Structure 1
Amino acid sequence: MPMQAGDIERLILEALPGASVEIEDLAGDGDHYRATVVSPAFAGLTRVKQHQLVYNALGGRMGGELHALALVTRAP
């Protein structure tokens, strides 16, 4: 069963309090999303480390409940 956009947002916000999160359903199928995440926690981190923080927030759901997630991350 696909993940809902609200669930993705909630998981990211729980892991990165104070972040700004925007979720876009790219295909309209509830299976392909883009997340734009702006968080103070990203300050000084490489893009790879920023993405790892977001993927960790999803707790292993990538490839299962969540098929595809394009990420745009940055510090404020």
Structure 2
Amino acid sequence: MAMEAHDIERLIKAALPDAQVEIQDLAGDGDHYAATIISEAFRGKSRVQQHQMVYAALQGNMGGVLHALALHTSAPK
């Protein structure tokens, strides 16, 4: 069972309410996504820390129902 893009966005926004989230289905199969996430919560954090925050927001779905997610994270400019 694949995870829907709106479910990914909902989970991320629940953990990072100010986030601007854009999800793209890379293969059209509901299994391979790319996410661009901009949040003030990322300011001062390393890229690894930012990605860990997103993985935590996904509540264990990464690697399970969510097969692949390419992340592009940043703080607002």
* TM-score band w.r.t. shorter chain: over 0.9
5+ residue gaps, structure 2, are none
How far the C-alpha of 1:26 sits from its partner, in A, is 0.2
% identical aligned pairs: 70
1:66 is matched with which residue?
66
1:19 equivalenced with 2:38 (yes/no) = no
Q: Deviations over 1:24-74 (max 9, x none)?
A: 000000000000000000000000000000000001101110000000000
Q: Distance in 1 between matches of 2:18 and 2:64?
A: 27
Q: Distance in 1 between matches of 2:25 and 2:4?
A: 9
5+ residue gaps, structure 1, are none
* TM-score w.r.t. length of structure 2: 0.98
2:54 is matched with which residue?
54
2:31 is matched with which residue?
31
RMSD of aligned residue pairs (Cα, Å): 0.3
* TM-score w.r.t. length of structure 1: 0.99
Runs of 4 or more above 6 Å deviation: none
2:42 is matched with which residue?
42
